[in-house]
Structure 1
Amino acid sequence: MASTTSASRLQTFTEEWLPGWDGLNFYTRTYTPADGAPRAVVLFVHGFAEYIGRYEWAHGVYATRGIAVVAFDQRGFGLTAMGDSAHVSKASKYGKTSWRNQFADIDWWLRHVRDRFPGVPVFLMGHSMGGGLSLGFATRTSPPPAPDGVAHLSGVIASSPLILLTHPSSRILRFLGWLASFVLPSFVIPAPVNPDHLSHDLAINAANAKDPLCPQSGSVKGVNDMLNGGEELFRNSYKNWPKELPLYMVHGTGDEVTSCKASEEFCEKVVADDKTFVPVEGGFHELANETPGGMKDRYVDGCIAWILEHVETTPLTQL
């Protein structure tokens, strides 16, 4: 384990390399309130072909409002896959992942969060691919969810989740991808996203396009699971949502990457006692980087407000 502390513009975070359930070494960041006594803690799951360092500003805001954030570069992405040789596991490779392993990772890190912040309400939050994974984690039946995984959550936040693509690929390509996932699961293929579709901030979009930790590609297995998993969520798995688990979904209406309409329909179909869908008018895919009219501030403020509202109503059985 390696640990360092860095100062962001808003808050200090701790960097650590920690082993997961199968021994794979993960790069992690933990943001904590200055007084060290968080009212809630968020486990954050990032999106496809990116990494947690891109959320430093937003996670710093959470910490200043009394909410701790634990985030990890997912297996196959970010520094977990492309960091220095002193820390990256030999078994780690860019794009080498699957929904089965990613679900196991989320469950593992939720246990880590509860051990590190005992008695503090825990929320699972994901963006884009991570949003789809967060929704899938709460609804999956195979492999079955661990009782202390979903049952101990105080809520789920899905930001621009990948349920369906705004512009889906052809059925023939999808079928070929499905076949290839059995033969060459770790083979890396192009998966380009127009950087101008990420946000209205052209400087951030340009930086993303040049960022070596954001290659526009993924493994055949990882991409196939991501797309098929989202479609399964939309068609069937939504029926498995636990009625007592609060859900907050937020999506930009101008998102050209993941479908805002699919998110709205998913939220409508889910049988949850407490569910909220927030459309951000004109927002692109990365709401945390949006600029028009203070959009990113409203996005972060809305997520924080929802969390703090549910901290007060968290059943004692979930703590």
Structure 2
Amino acid sequence: MTTEEGWLKADDGKKLYTKTWKAEEPAKARLVFIHGFSDHCNTYNSFFPTLASKGIEVYSFDQRGWGRSVLKPSEKGDTGPTSQVLADISCFMRTVIPCRIPLFMLGHSMGGGETLCYAAEGPADIRKHIRGYLLESPFVDFSPASKPSPITVFFGRLAGKILPHHQMVNQLDVKLVSRNPDVQKQMLEDPLCHDTGTLEALAGLLDRTGHLSTGKVVIGDAAGEGGVTRIWFGHGTKDGITNPEASKKLYDSLTAKDKTYKPYEGYFHRLHDEPSPDNLEFMNDVADWILARSVEPVQVEASKPKL
């Protein structure tokens, strides 16, 4: 496996850090990964190298407001509204299409909620290249252990309209993130996991979860390549950050013919970072689902001649 780092210029000129994990042999599939809150693409430990070892290349970026894409303190957590979040994903997606091998998208936690919104509302000219969507512990709703009070949400939204770029720390409880103490320590000591969000960004996150959990965002049965929605959910039954019951309820409402939901009994929030061999079970499930859907030929549009 080899890795490559780079920078992407977003539509408004903002620079976003990117990283790719490439397979040693010709790749069988390509996966675009969308990370979660207070996270960045270099925290996923053995997950991406494991996928690359199975022939699945991983392409990811640090979202606006997170990781190495933060170039000054005032940018911490400043992701912008949902329209900006989806626009950044589209900008990154355009760097990997058209693709001569099957292309998939996977989102974790907050990134899972964003992936679901993208499957519903992303540009059709990009979604037609995505063979399947995968969700790891998607943020459809808060777990009861982490859910803010309605009063906090109300006044937070009100303040966000007045001071959208005001930063607020929302520290995740690392003991709810993983059962692995080394992972808990990693998250606590990583300065790029800053637990900071602007009021505008936090309102956008709440809007996405609200729209997903109430059915305002609808994923049709033709959201991907070939006019087909292929979608996989994985959620730990002991997740204390995002709600597995809300995730399952959304899954049940989908009309997609190719859909899978797997509950991971006793797992916490970061399924890929649970103690071994539990994390390996999750990684293998992800790889198996992708590879099983990578055997069909992919139609790649011919490049237009340059004028």
Q: Mark the CA change 1:242 to 1:111 in structure 2 (over 3 Å): closer, same or farther.
A: farther
Structure 2 counterpart of 1:13: 3
Q: 1:77 aligns with which of 46, 66, 69?
A: 66
Contact preservation (8 Å) 2:76, 2:196: no
Any runs of at least 4 consecutive aligned residues in structure 1 with deviations exceeding 4 A, and if so which? none
Query: Shift of residue 210 of structure 1?
Result: 2.0
CA distance in 1, matches of 2:75, 2:230: 35
Residue 102 of structure 2 corresponds to residue 121 of structure 1: yes
Contact preservation (8 Å) 1:138, 1:242: no
CA distance in 2, matches of 1:55, 1:207: 11
Q: Mark the CA change 1:139 to 1:92 in structure 2 (over 3 Å): closer, same or farther.
A: farther
1:102-121 equivalent positions in 2, closer than 5 A = 102-115=85-98, 118-121=99-102
TM-score, normalised to structure 1's length?
A: 0.87
CA distance in 2, matches of 1:172, 1:242: 37
Q: Given residue 77 of structure 2, which amino acid in structure 1 is its aligned partner? A: G
Residue 149 of structure 2 corresponds to residue 170 of structure 1: yes
Structure 1 counterpart of 2:124: 147
Query: Shift of residue 290 of structure 1?
Result: 0.1
Q: Given residue 68 of structure 1, which amino acid in structure 2 is its aligned partner? A: E
Q: Mark the CA change 1:53 to 1:224 in structure 2 (over 3 Å): closer, same or farther.
A: same
Q: Given residue 157 of structure 2, which amino acid in structure 1 is its aligned partner? A: W
Q: Mark the CA change 1:318 to 1:99 in structure 2 (over 3 Å): closer, same or farther.
A: farther
Contact preservation (8 Å) 2:93, 2:126: yes
Structure 1 counterpart of 2:27: 38
Contact preservation (8 Å) 2:220, 2:255: yes
CA distance in 2, matches of 1:126, 1:201: 21
* 1:132-155 residue CA offsets vs partner (Å, 9 max, x unmatched): 000011113xxxx32212222100
* 1:260-302 residue CA offsets vs partner (Å, 9 max, x unmatched): 111111100111111100100000001111015x110010100
Q: Mark the CA change 1:253 to 1:226 in structure 2 (over 3 Å): closer, same or farther.
A: same
CA distance in 2, matches of 1:92, 1:44: 25
Contact preservation (8 Å) 2:23, 2:53: yes
Q: Mark the CA change 1:315 to 1:241 in structure 2 (over 3 Å): closer, same or farther.
A: farther
Q: 1:303 aligns with which of 281, 286, 304?
A: 286
Structure 1 counterpart of 2:258: 274
Residue 233 of structure 2 corresponds to residue 249 of structure 1: yes
Query: Shift of residue 22 of structure 1?
Result: 2.0
SS in 2 for 1:114: coil
Q: Given residue 271 of structure 1, which amino acid in structure 2 is its aligned partner? A: T
Residue 85 of structure 2 corresponds to residue 94 of structure 1: no
| Further displaced range: 157-166 or 145-154 | 145-154
1:215-226 equivalent positions in 2, closer than 5 A = 215-226=194-205
Aligned residues between the structures: 294
Query: Shift of residue 158 of structure 1?
Result: 0.7
Query: Shift of residue 317 of structure 1?
Result: 7.4
* 1:16-35 residue CA offsets vs partner (Å, 9 max, x unmatched): 12212222111111111112
CA distance in 2, matches of 1:228, 1:20: 23
Contact preservation (8 Å) 2:175, 2:184: yes
TM-score, normalised to structure 2's length?
A: 0.91
Query: Where in structure 1 are there 5+ consecutive unaligned residues?
Result: 1-10, 82-87
SS in 2 for 1:278: strand
CA distance in 2, matches of 1:203, 1:192: 18
Structure 2 counterpart of 1:65: 54
CA distance in 2, matches of 1:227, 1:54: 24
Q: CA RMSD in A?
A: 1.9
Q: 2:41 aligns with which of 52, 59, 62?
A: 52
SS in 2 for 1:26: strand
Q: Given residue 101 of structure 1, which amino acid in structure 2 is its aligned partner? A: Q
Query: Where in structure 2 are there 5+ consecutive unaligned residues?
Result: 223-227, 303-307
Residue 140 of structure 2 corresponds to residue 182 of structure 1: no
Query: Shift of residue 102 of structure 1?
Result: 1.0
Structure 2 counterpart of 1:8: none
The structure where helix makes up a greater share of residues is 1
Contact preservation (8 Å) 2:116, 2:219: no
CA distance in 1, matches of 2:261, 2:271: 15
CA distance in 2, matches of 1:71, 1:256: 25
Q: Percent identity?
A: 30
Contact preservation (8 Å) 2:180, 2:275: yes
Q: Mark the CA change 1:31 to 1:123 in structure 2 (over 3 Å): closer, same or farther.
A: same
